[in-house]
Structure 1
């Protein structure tokens, strides 16, 4: 018998309850994964809110990405990266119900796990990584350009720093001073939040800022777009708001069809980058699966210093 976190009602993390669950055997086109680690993301608790669509059937399942071992494979089925036999280490993303000890999911969302990543890191690669890749794609970042990343020390920000460096772009990143060394460690120049941010960005990039990527959704981040860019079309946010709409800043999110299609398409490339050691995932904490509420508190609260994983 597997265990799984579900939400019988809409709300915040307090709506979640841990239950025993029968996991169905995989049909054709499906596989079953014994979960070794589940990634924890802000999108997880946001998924529980009624504002995301109160017509969704209850109970809600939570968790978009896991890493684990194949325990069953449906008839005539291969995983997305090819092959797939019982015992193979794998990564799965964009799935539903990853906060569990075992899941049956579509094989098209399952890939071989890179040996370079342990299970907690692998379970946290693809949501942040695909979001970062889409942000760079939407803002058309090119080699030789300098970009400003708001929230550079967060999970999406750190992935943006790495992927921008692979493109050949220079990054100036906002962060709290306690995270400056983390930002520098990924090749970016940190600047502090707060009054004077735009002046600090201009001083750090006298050549000019070509694009702005916002991962925090603050008024300060959105307001910087109008001051630093002549074309708001080269700015993107992952936190849509009335302010971002008024500023003409494009918002991206996994629930949008275009975002979903891009993120699905980029998964294999991100896994290849991780396999080669060109994309890493800092993990701050690993907690037991039954401490999911504490894990969500970590990602909702002060910066945990890296990703958080749940271990069944």
Structure 2
């Protein structure tokens, strides 16, 4: 692979690549052959790529990478949005010029991605981007949107519920909070003191995380909470148990707790992303973009996102 820092021809296709596993310092923008759409595939000219914690987590070391089926040299990023520019044999429902978004596991931060739009496999997919949803927003939907939808399906919220959401200001939290409110639930969201106004704007009642969480939640909701979604670790799940929430109405995405059902985006119901995109297109749900970076600043973008204090989503422009 030839690094852009050395020489990039005007006909080259850019992609962020790793020649070794590690942190943001191993990310390089490289010139690579443009991928070609085969039978059943479409090629997308990527305009924006959204970052998620899983992007840097699964490329941090060789053992974790193997669990995700990754080998060197590896790409980076999964969420993308852009425009179809090549359609393989046998593909229906997509044509050059269609705006799309989706997932391309650990290869989305690139000028082009090739995906199977009909294969039904998470992180190898394409969905039509509705009018009213810009590409930066569409590029944030796949991983976080799938995860949020799957977590909400476990706890099945309704108007009679008060739900505690841990890590509510993060990339998945912004979706979970708003979708829980759309379902009619009262939402209490954990966060730092600096995230309180942000959480209120999303529709959540903020509560500080850390020691004494259960007591603070009890003071906010004397009649109790009925469900909990822990998007950060185990603290919210343990607090919910202490407050009498049954394990069947608690879920986690970043840790496993005996007796509690964990969630990941692969469990999302068919059509979950289309439903989410429609909510955004009709103005019922918004996606806060915390920061956007040109692809040349990929290392700075990942450092910001990996700090886990971002309120909303981080996007790469291509």
Tell whether the structures are fold-level matches, with TM greater than 0.5.
yes
Matching of residue 98 in structure 1 with residue 108 in structure 2: yes
Change (3 A) 1:232 1:208: same
Q: Return the alpha-carbon distance in structure 2 between the equivalents of residues 43 and 266 of structure 1.
A: 20
Task: Compute the displacement of 1:19 (Å).
Answer: 1.3
Give the Cα separation in 1 of the matches to 2:141 and 2:167: 17
Unaligned runs of 5+ in 2: 1-11, 119-124
- What's the RMSD between the two structures over aligned residues? 1.9
| C-alpha distance in 1 between matches for 2:65 and 2:174 | 30
Which whole-Å CA distance do the structure 2 matches of 1:187 and 1:56 have between them?
38
Indicate conservation of the 8 Å contact 1:177/1:192, yes or no: yes
> Structure 2 length as normaliser, TM-score?
0.87
Compared CA separation, residues 303 and 53, structure 1 to 2 (3 A): closer
Q: Aligned to 1:238, which of 249, 253, 260? A: 253
Q: 1:140 to 1:53 in 2, by over 3 A?
A: same
Larger helix proportion of the pair: 1
Residue of structure 1 aligned with 2:91, choices 77, 81, 84 = 77
Q: 5+ unaligned residues in a row in structure 1: which ranges? A: 255-259
Q: Distance in 1 between matches of 2:132 and 2:216?
A: 37
Name the CA shift for 1:77/1:112 in 2 (closer, same or farther; >3 Å): same
Other structure's SS at 2:77 match: coil
When structure 1 is superposed on structure 2, of 298-307 and 8-17 the one drifting more is 8-17
Alpha-carbon displacement from aligned partner over 1:121-154 (angstroms, at most 9, x marks no partner): 1100221121111111112223321100011111
Compute the displacement of 1:42 (Å). Answer: 0.6
Q: Deviations over 1:76-121 (max 9, x none)?
A: 313xxxx322222211225441010111111231112122222111
CA-to-aligned-CA distance 1:156-194 (integer Å, 9 cap, x gap)? 111111111111111111111221111111222111123
The answer to which of 162-171 and 260-269 deviates more is 260-269
Q: Distance in 2 between matches of 1:60 and 1:264?
A: 29
